[in-house]
Chain A
Amino acid sequence: MDAGTLLHALNVAYALATLALTTLGLAVVFGLLGVMNMAHGEFVMIGTYAVVTVQQWGWPLATAFPLALLTCAALGYAVERWLIRPLYQRPFDTLLATWALAMLLRKLVEAVYGKGYRNVESDLGAPLSFWGTQYPAYRLALIVLAIVLMVGLALWYRRSAAGLRVRAMTGNPVLAQALGIDTRRLASQAFVVGVVLAGAAGVLLAPLVRIEPGIGIDYLLDAFFVLVVGGLGTLGGFAGGVGVIGGSQAVVSSLFGQTSGYAVVLILAILFLWLKPDGLFARR
């Protein structure tokens, strides 16, 4: 493989890895609870601001992780308890409520940190030279991490008792409750896990991306397209959605330019909604 091809392959892998990281949380919440969390991107944004905050305080950057996890978990618990729970089975109302939540979170961050761009000073972005090309070492680490995370999650979902309970709940909530599974607690946990995953993705991406209060919408849109293509509630569908959306955008962009790449994603999303509304791997 020559250096140019390797660079393009790594770029595609990176695009897929970041898309998987930022979408996973939404897939968990949407797939398990049927809740379209429009504030998903804002939790990614909060993750990036956790890094900005620890940097301001002069703490080591790694401490952004616990800070983001705690903040997102607390927010996620409160949101599920007082905003989402009264609205289960009312998908449109949930959509509006979480959209309002997104605006509220955005404005809160604006009020505290201002509208300006922030930057995370770190040498993590530094390039690494190998096989005749240069690639940021941190991006390679993210690609590996995304793969490990996906495989780990798949194993957990298939093998563990908790995974079994989650599958029981999504398969038939009434029956699961009758069997003594505390579906309410499980739902709360699933939501918290979803937004914590979003926050963690924000922390991981902070050294590489633009940071300002409005970035959430970018992550929400991409995540939404992935779910449209992949369908709900299966890891295979999720992986397929990431592959189709991220892969086609990255490949078409590098061949024909960004505008074409973006157009292809939109066309794919429309085609899938029209022809395969349940996604690649429909559960039904």
Chain B
Amino acid sequence: MDRRSFLQSTAAATALVAARHAFAADALKVAVMIPQSGPAGLFGPSTQACAELAAETINARGGILGRRIEPMFGDAGLAPAEASQAALRLWKGAGAQVVLGMHDSAVRGALVGLFKAQLPYFYTPVYEGGECARGTYVNGETPQQQLAPVIPWIAAERKPKKWYMIGNDYVWGRSTNAAAKGFIEKTGAQVVGDEYLPFTADNFDSSLARIRDSGADAVLVSLVGGASVTFNKAFASFGLTEKALRLGTLIEENTLAGIGAANARNLYSSAGYFANIATPAAQAFAEAYAKRFGAQAPALNGLAESAYEGFLMLEAVAKKAGSLDVAKLDAACEGASYKGPRGSVTMRARHVEQDIYVADVGDKGFRVVKTFPHVASGQICKA
């Protein structure tokens, strides 16, 4: 989508709100599960804004199968059992026919078990891979996607010989580092250490001493949120920024704001989206977002924007299937494709092939330094 058509469609959204009768009688209720509380609650407002913008944009061009999207939000920042309750209320109580989720994997596991492929479920954030349940369509980046092209590129650019891997002690941190190990060894470099820390860790001195002693010249940071902030600040204060480069696959705009640009020298982030990607589609999206939500809008980031992508994928798959029936969607989803803020995205094995961006950090935040087009997810789900 080019910028002009994007802006036009967004402008048309406002006009169409007045002309609801143009749609089929019943609106399509979409349950949008986002963290409204808890540690990830930070991403709630920006994700909700992106979901609202997506619904308005799609409604402006005729909705989904001629039906107007009506988003309904539920809190997925709770424990999995409680988040399931919230989703159940939106599904059975309020009549949602599609679910879109931007939340952690524990909640995803609970929701997949709850829905049992009775309604389509679009899961959008970056995650560890491995979700092959029927009726579940994954838009997020996988470790293979974020690392397979990036580690060889860093090997060519910076020639690190020794990698140290650190992560939070849970499925995403461990899977990401496990995937990375293979890619690192293929470049001829060596993994000199890996360690996994509980979410409660707020002092990384002993880890930093080990990194220093290991002589590592590259560190893969698979820590999340606050842990990543504290680790990266301390990393810089020990003077390690010049000794070792850092690579992270979940260092987004909020995390970087906490770390501070001065502490982020030689730090690379790999993701499917950054707020300042310079492509026309991404810029048009950022402009539409700013126009819709004003100067006080919650800052854009890859996790929030993934909800927008999820809606675009819903639109593409539903159009291809001509139905919202899970069996028909499952049959049609292979090869479903759209062009959005991230670039051209194609569904394969209920995951997506998408562009991957590598950014380093300048005074004003992320700078995209390399783009890898159409990177495969590395997932093999049987149809």
Contact = CB atoms under 8 A, between A and B. Distances in A.
Given A119-B257, A125-B236, A259 B263 contact: no
Contact of A258 (B197, B255, B263): B197
Interface string A129-148: 10000111011000000000
Contacts of B340: none
A118 B257 contact: yes
A134 B238 CA distance: 6
Given A115-B42, A125-B236, A8 B207 contact: no
Interface stretch (A25-33, A64-72, A204-212): A204-212
A210 B195 contact: no
Main secondary structure of the interface of B (DSSP, over half): helix
A253 B206 contact: yes
Nearest to B257: A117
B259 A119 contact: yes
A258 B258 contact: no
Contact of B234 (A129, A208, A257, A258): A208
Contact of A209 (B39, B212, B230): B230
Given A7-B209, A250-B206, A253-B203, A116 B254 contact: yes
Contact of A211 (B200, B234, B255, B258): B258
B267 to A, nearest CB: 13
Nearest to B259: A119
Interface residues of B, number: 36
A127 B212 CA distance: 14
B263 A11 contact: no
Interface string B255-291: 1011110110000000000000000000000000000
Contact of B258 (A123, A136, A138, A212): A212
Nearest to A253: B206
A127 B263 CA distance: 12
B209 A119 contact: no
A272 interface: no
B226 interface: yes
Contacts of A125: 233, 236-237, 263
Contact of B239 (A115, A127, A138, A250): A127
Interface string B203-222: 10111010011000000000
Contact of B209 (A115, A209, A254, A262): A254
A75 B207 CA distance: 38
Contact of A262 (B195, B198, B205, B255): B198
Given A127-B237, A262-B200, A11 B258 contact: no
Given A212-B226, A253-B206, A119 B258 contact: yes
Nearest to A137: B237
A7 B263 CA distance: 21
Interface string A234-269: 000000000000000110011001110110000000
A7 B209 CA distance: 8
Interface string A206-243: 00111110110010000000000000000000000000
Interface string A5-21: 00110010011000000
A208 B203 CA distance: 11
Interface of A: 4, 7-8, 11, 14-15, 115-121, 123, 125-127, 129, 134-136, 138-139, 208-212, 214-215, 218, 249-250, 253-254, 257-259, 261-262
Given A117-B225, A127-B238, A212-B258, 17 more contacts: A11-B209, A15-B205, A117-B255, A118-B257, A119-B260, A119-B263, A121-B260, A125-B236, A134-B239, A139-B237, A210-B229, A210-B230, A250-B205, A253-B205, A258-B197, A258-B198, A259-B197
27 contacts: A4-B213, A7-B212, A11-B205, A116-B257, A117-B42, A117-B226, A117-B257, A117-B258, A117-B259, A118-B258, A119-B260, A119-B263, A121-B260, A121-B262, A123-B262, A125-B263, A127-B238, A129-B239, A208-B237, A209-B230, A210-B226, A212-B258, A250-B203, A250-B206, A258-B197, A259-B198, A262-B198
Interface of B: 39, 41-42, 169, 195, 197-198, 200-203, 205-207, 209, 212-213, 225-226, 229-230, 233-234, 236-239, 254-255, 257-260, 262-263, 299
